[in-house]
Chain A
Amino acid sequence: MSLTRRNFIQMVPASAAALALTSGSTAKAAEPIHHVTVLGGGFAGCTIAKYIRMWSDGEIAVTLIEPRANHVSCVMSNLILNKRLKTADLTFEYNDLQLKYGVNVVRDKALKIRGPQKQIRLKNAGWISYDSLVVATGIQFDKIPGLNYKNAPHAWIAGGSTNKLRNLINKMPDTGTFVMTVPKTPYRCPPGPYERACVVADILGRRSGYLDGSGSTPPRVIVLDANPGIQAEKSTFTSAFNDLYGGIIEYIPDAQVESVESDDPNSLVVHTTQGSFGGDVINVIPTHGAQSILRRSGLTGESRWADVDPVTYATTNTLFQDVYVIGDAQGTSQPKSGHMANAQAKICADSIIRTVHGQSSYTEERLQNITTNSACFSPITYDKASWLTAVYSYNPDTGSMALVPGSLGEAHNWSTRNFNDMFDWSNNLFADTFK
């Protein structure tokens, strides 16, 4: 069944209620001039839903389609492992988007996009037409032979998996072995896996007494990196691995996972191109790409990610008109981070609003001022953190986003000040995205 825009608004009771609210609060006109459908209620999807509503003064209707009742942030989720945070601290509801901004939130899962027909298929609602579509569905893991997430949780899409990993670490022997893998680039959150290695080394190092000298046997944290070297904050992590956690962390580059033994929780082994490694707990973070809906629909082409024009974030596949891809799913060379997903959402929101108003996104003034930026704070110990930041700017000659020289920076050392700043930063990022 193919539905028109108006039908879609009317077919879902929750959406009708939200729109009624909107018209009362922010919307100028009762009848929206355009309808944007957003797939995925994570960092990218929530930011664009909010900013389109806010910047269009309610003139553009936004429907957000998300299969889950709420979003558990990956950002800060390594702090669930050392119990500095609980999942509830990182869980965001969609109430603010609905009530403050009049976003129409529909709980459903998108299965397929038909570009030429401008339609999407939803698991519950079937085929729906869209005016404009924003795809912000994050990542999907590659299949690894033998990998059973019940016994070897990834904790790379936060939620139950993160809690499971915390519980396994909690129960493992104090001087046991933790084996983890780093996926091949590009992957979600470049410093994230190294940060995780530090957090786990800190948990076990303190528990065993090895870090304060009260215990003489070190626990082991084996980091199997599919890449030839550390991918972010190299000097920070090199000194954390070699000095602070020397004797605990063993870093092995060029180790690509071939298969895993994980059906028996008492016999967990990761087989890689650099040998086989058994552990009391194994944490395999598989190499990943965009969600299969993008691949199935033809938005990723040959690549694992969707090619987009960073002036608009429209797909470069011309069969898909008015389709945009933002956040981790898109394939520019910008880092895959929540901060960056938020940044891209604003560029895309501005472009969609322009298009709706018949204005070009390619004015010289705009092209000269397309910037995005990223920031990541990494806990290195229980109460100290480092950071990484960078600004990207559009280069009209290459048609791509380029790192601005000098803007790439990392903390000179890990500190409690950075640890405290990490909470101010994340609270602002969360608020700008979800509230």
Chain B
Amino acid sequence: MSSFSTGLSSKLAIISAIVILPLNSAMAEDPTVNRMIASQCAQCHGTNGYARGSFPDLGGDEAKDQADHLLDMKGEDRAEDMMDHQALGYTDDQIRRIAQYYSTLPESGDD
């Protein structure tokens, strides 16, 4: 029984290693670095991504959607809007980190 159980757990370990790999590599990142980069959006999008006025909130967005959105702006043929230029200021990895950070915050707050 014990060998079975050992076998099962090692099998599970292999499976989870495969499945969780991207998550693991994300978790290996220093979360305070992601917070530091993301905080640079707060001047326009509010502390913790809760914006005032018509500027979009960032908190609680799906990480992939937000990253894709920023990458689209970065890829514009001709930068027009302020956000096109802002997006050009970040590496793809930084954009992914920013999106990842805001996706972990609640959608709305009192800030």
| Interface of A toward B, CB cutoff 8 Å | 50-51, 54-55, 339, 342-343, 346-347, 350, 353-354, 363, 365-366, 369-373, 375, 387, 389-393, 404-409, 411-412, 420-421, 423-425, 427-429, 431-432, 435
Please indicate the chain A residues that have their CB under 8 angstroms from the CB of B53 in the complex: 423-424, 427-428
* B88 CB-CB contact with A under 8 Å: yes
Most buried by A among B30, B40, B89: B89
Report how far A372 CA is from B89 CA in the complex, Å: 9
Check A369 against B89 for contact (C-beta < 8 Å).
no
Check A404 against B43 for contact (C-beta < 8 Å).
no
Q: Using an 8 Å CB-CB cutoff, how does the interface string of B37-68 with A read, 1 for contact, 0 for none? A: 10110111111000111110000000000000
Q: Specify the main secondary structure of chain B where it touches its partner.
A: helix
Please indicate the chain A residues that have their CB under 8 angstroms from the CB of B111 in the complex: 431, 435
* B20 CB-CB contact with A under 8 Å: no
Check B82 against A387 for contact (C-beta < 8 Å).
yes
Distance in Å: Cβ of A430 to nearest Cβ of chain B: 9
* B29 CB-CB contact with A under 8 Å: yes
| Interface of B toward A, CB cutoff 8 Å | 29-30, 32-33, 35-37, 39-40, 42-47, 51-55, 79-80, 82, 84-86, 88-90, 94, 97, 111
Report how far A100 CA is from B30 CA in the complex, Å: 27
Most buried by B among A342, A366, A391: A391
Which of these, A369, A406, A432, contacts B36 with CB under 8 Å?
A369
Report how far A387 CA is from B54 CA in the complex, Å: 17
Closest residue on chain A to residue B37 by CB atoms? A369
Check A391 against B46 for contact (C-beta < 8 Å).
no
Distance in Å: Cβ of A155 to nearest Cβ of chain B: 24
Closest residue on chain A to residue B36 by CB atoms? A350
Distance in Å: Cβ of B78 to nearest Cβ of chain A: 10
Check A429 against B44 for contact (C-beta < 8 Å).
yes
Please indicate the chain B residues that have their CB under 8 angstroms from the CB of A404 in the complex: 88-90
Please indicate the chain A residues that have their CB under 8 angstroms from the CB of B80 in the complex: 412
Q: Given contacts A412-B80, A424-B52, A427-B53, is CB(A369)–CB(B33) below 8 Å?
A: yes
Most buried by B among A369, A390, A427: A369
Distance in Å: Cβ of A429 to nearest Cβ of chain B: 5
Check A391 against B54 for contact (C-beta < 8 Å).
no
Check B52 against A391 for contact (C-beta < 8 Å).
no
